[in-house]
Amino acid sequence: MSWSQAGTIPKTRPFRAKATGSGCVRLAAIAMARPDPRTKSPRSDVNAGRAVALSLEALGDALQRAPTLPARFEPHASALAQGRSVVPADGERTDFPARVKAAEAKPAPEGPAALAAWLGDALAGWLAGELARAPDGPLAEAVLAATDARDALLTRKQQVADVFARWHGEGLDERSKAAFHAASEVALGEAVDRWVALGCEGDLDRVVATWQRSSAGWAERALGVAVEVSVGDLGHLRSLQLAVRGVTAKTPEELSRAVARRMGLPLAEVERLLALDATVRERRDPKRVIRRRWAIVKPIAVAVADLEKELGRMPSVTEIAERASVHPCAVDLVLEAMGDGDGGEG
């Protein structure tokens, strides 16, 4: 796929539920009324992305000219030079929880390893060996230019990643915070690389936010605290909720037996489903989500209340962010938590 071709960026879900409390009610109203997000990135983001693409084309050209390049890497070097490379280079078999653990254990990759999404592990490894033997020359210059351009684009969106890392880890122990931070860094690299590979089309902030939301699940699995719900269990949970509404019971034991009879399932299976349902509900509870992150939510809620008094209308996300001195995506996360309690649990 050419870097000039457009990609499709997933849309975020609408916000539905209401919240309570003066500032919170205003936040919920803003969530319901705000306009659709932008569909294009600022020109500065696009220019930075194209700088990455051009530097990678130059790297592909340098690889093609390298006399020691193994024949098996020639097609990949040609694709890079012509802007036809695909990210990730090694396909979609990435074990993200394992990458989170690796990111926690060692510093961020440098040199060819930082370009592994574009080169693939094998070519990146060969290139690292070549640079160790010949640290100067066209290959070294091309790698440095590509990593510098990519680092510049990453830096432009680092604040977004930091907001999500804090949101996911707020109120947790240091070990958990470190895992969410590592996952956030992995997700930032994935978002930037794929956006450039798709021709810098669409809003990079939305691409980064989409990957950041996914990163919470990677960190949870790396920590061993993820709540895994299979497709089969998802269907059973829906049936369970309907069955619970149709029975009356004074104790948990009576509820389990009544639901088991109604669903025609063994008692042990119903007890397992009830425990799973309780865990899922707790993780998605808006009050719990907000309570753990109150240090983030409070200044935003205060800003909303103050701005409404001053302006005589509901403030925009940008106005709230400026008053609260936060990134707009922090406001988005609070609005999402107010809306449906699914603001990136972790």
Last residue of a domain, one of 206, 223, 240: 223
Check whether residue 118 and residue 214 sit in a common domain.
yes
pLDDT, tens digit (0-9, with 9 covering 90-100), for 189-224: 999 999 999 999 999 999 999 999 999 999 998 998
Q: What is the chain's percent helix, strand, coil content, to nearest 5?
A: 70, 0, 30
Q: Is residue 89 in some structural domain?
A: yes
Q: Is residue 67 in some structural domain?
A: yes
CB count within 10 Å of CB 231 equals 7
Q: Quick check: helix, strand or coil at residue 83?
A: coil
Check whether residue 279 and residue 290 sit in a common domain.
no
What pTM did the predictor assign? 0.76
Q: d(Cα 245, Cα 256) in Å, to the nearest integer?
A: 13
Asked whether 213 and 91 are in contact (CB, 8 A), the reply is no
Check whether residue 156 and residue 173 sit in a common domain.
yes
Query: Is 175 a residue whose pLDDT tops 90?
Result: yes
54 or 92, which is more confident?
A: 54
pLDDT, tens digit (0-9, with 9 covering 90-100), for 83-94: 998 889 888 777
Before 88, cis peptide (omega within 30)? yes
Q: Is residue 1 in some structural domain?
A: no
Query: Is 227 a residue whose pLDDT tops 70?
Result: no
pLDDT confidence tier of residue 289, bands split at 50, 70 and 90? confident
Asked whether 146 and 115 are in contact (CB, 8 A), the reply is yes
**What pLDDT is stored for residue 9 in this prediction?**
32
Check whether residue 175 and residue 321 sit in a common domain.
no
What percent of the chain is predicted at pLDDT more than 70?
A: 84
How many domains would you assign to the chain? 3
Asked whether 336 and 15 are in contact (CB, 8 A), the reply is yes
Q: d(Cα 51, Cα 281) in Å, to the nearest integer?
A: 45
Token output for 203:
């809003």
Q: Quick check: helix, strand or coil at residue 336?
A: helix
Q: Concatenated DSSP letters for 191-241?
A: HHHHHHHTTS-S-HHHHHHHHHHHHHHHHHHHHT------HHHHHHHHHHH
Q: What is the DSSP letter of 109?
A: P
Last residue of a domain, one of 223, 242, 273: 223
Check whether residue 240 and residue 189 sit in a common domain.
no
Q: What is the DSSP letter of 344?
A: -
Check whether residue 71 and residue 103 sit in a common domain.
yes
pLDDT, tens digit (0-9, with 9 covering 90-100), for 238-266: 888 888 887 877 777 788 888 888 888 89
Check whether residue 102 and residue 207 sit in a common domain.
yes
Token output for 255:
């509820």
**What pLDDT is stored for residue 89 in this prediction?**
87
> Which residues span the domain enclosing 16?
7-36+285-346
For 255, list phi and psi in degrees, rounded to 5: -60, -45
Residue at 145: amino acid letter: A
Check whether residue 159 and residue 236 sit in a common domain.
no
Q: Is residue 91 in some structural domain?
A: yes
Check whether residue 84 and residue 205 sit in a common domain.
yes
Q: CA-CA distances (angstroms) from residue 151 to 77, 115, 272?
A: 21, 10, 47
**The Cα angle at residue 337 between residues 335 and 341, in degrees rounded to 5:** 145
Token output for 326:
């936060």
Q: Is residue 2 in some structural domain?
A: no
If you average pLDDT over residues 233-239, what whole number do you get? 78
Token output for 82:
């012509």
Check whether residue 153 and residue 272 sit in a common domain.
no
If you average pLDDT over residues 320-343, what whole number do you get? 82
Q: Is residue 325 in some structural domain?
A: yes
Q: Is residue 14 in some structural domain?
A: yes
**What pLDDT is stored for residue 2 in this prediction?**
38
Q: Is residue 124 in some structural domain?
A: yes
Q: Ramachandran region of residue 151, left (φ > 0), alpha (ψ -120 to 50) or beta?
A: alpha
Check whether residue 207 and residue 233 sit in a common domain.
no
pLDDT confidence tier of residue 102, bands split at 50, 70 and 90? very high
pLDDT, tens digit (0-9, with 9 covering 90-100), for 120-174: 999 999 999 999 998 889 999 999 999 999 999 999 999 999 999 999 999 889 9
Check whether residue 280 and residue 290 sit in a common domain.
no
Residue at 80: amino acid letter: L
